[in-house]
Amino acid sequence: MSDTPKYEQFSRFLHQQILSGVYRPGEKLPSERDLGKQYRIAHMTVNKAVNGLVSAGVLERHGSRGTFVAAASAETQRQVCLLLLDRQPEQFQSGALEMQVYSGITAQAARTGIVVILAETAAAPEMIDTLLQQRGNNLRGILFCGMTHEEKMLNLVERYRSLKFILLNYQLPEDLGYFDNLFKVYNADAEGGAMAAEELYRRGHREFAVLSYELHCRNYARRTDGFRRKLVELGVSNSRIHFRYLDPFRDICTEAVPQAEALTRELLASHPGATAFFAVNDYFASGIATELARTADSSRYDIIGYDNILPVLSQLGGFSTVAIDFEAIGRRAVELLTDDRPEKIIRIAPRLFTRTGKESGRITA
């Protein structure tokens, strides 16, 4: 549940409606009571939202005539991009990767003077048509973040061939086909798994355990596959790489850690030679670390976890971490909008951090 006050949420929504041309410069806004009825919001909430936009100069009050959208200004002529989301930022959990990507987008857009307009995926065609009508050549492109419907997305790319579409952290195959207007910025999950394998091998380990999650999680599968492939490349037999998979869970915070503890106990019993652990998620790594701390000789074990978000690295729990800077994904996506000759695919490389929080360089065998 969002901690943002309702009047702030409605203020942002109303501002987005103005930026996207639903309410045009100089146009009279519906009365506050009508807005409340239309969007099923309390009159006091609407009043606070409107007052805030008046103070910001977005709206103007003209006595008994009502409230109007401020006359066209330099801001209404600024370049814009449309960000398509499965859910609004107010619904993002604090620290979640979506929030990190969104922060990177908005920060880079502010630096370059681009206005970011939000829309839910379902409303994409109508919003794009409106922006093309109102903004024309000022519409720089469309960003997909968290898009889960490939067919719908590709239909948009096909329909609007003159617009630049950029996928953020999307697992569409690297071959983007015949769409010249389709680009991708994503985190290299397989490379992160390979980095973990390389580092554990360098530390002298020769038998490895992997904790993953196999239900519809392509990013986890890529991390696991990258880890295994690198070890085989280094000469480690498949028989010395032991996999365990967590059961589906509803709440990763409460269910993943105890499951990881139980699987670690099982691995220690069935494969006592395994001294190196790779966890495709930081919660899994926490469970491994908790269980290993109970063993008589915990110092002989090594753990590398995979973490989505750099800011939490200050809370490393006794294990090394491969991490992705998701803010960089957002920044690079906006940079592509202003690049006349952009790369088709941009990988945001993972980084390896030691238990002390210090970053390690790329390891080579």
Question: pLDDT tens digits for 326-365?
Answer: 889 999 999 998 888 888 889 888 888 877 656 765 543 3
Strand partners, 82: 117, 142
Question: pLDDT tens digits for 118-167?
Answer: 887 777 888 888 888 877 888 999 998 865 667 778 888 999 999 999 98
Residues 6+ away with beta carbon under 8 Å from 253: 283
pLDDT band at 310 (very low <50, low <70, confident <90, very high): low
Strand partners, 277: 209, 303
Cβ 41 vs Cβ 11: under 8 Å = no
Cβ 199 vs Cβ 363: under 8 Å = yes
CA distance 16 to 21: 9
Cβ 242 vs Cβ 210: under 8 Å = yes
Cβ 236 vs Cβ 208: under 8 Å = yes
Give the single-character DSSP code of 28.
B
CA distance 271 to 232: 19
Q: Which residue, among 192, 187, 186, 199, has the nearest Cα to 223 in the 3D structure?
A: 192
Residue with tokens 């002989």: 300
pLDDT averaged over every residue in the chain: 84
Question: pLDDT tens digits for 212-262?
Answer: 987 667 788 889 999 999 999 999 999 999 999 998 877 777 788 999 999
Give the single-character DSSP code of 121.
G
From residue 192, alpha-carbon distances to 227, 280, 283, 315, 350 in Å are 8, 10, 17, 20, 5
Which pTM was predicted?
0.75
Cβ 187 vs Cβ 169: under 8 Å = yes
pLDDT band at 110 (very low <50, low <70, confident <90, very high): confident
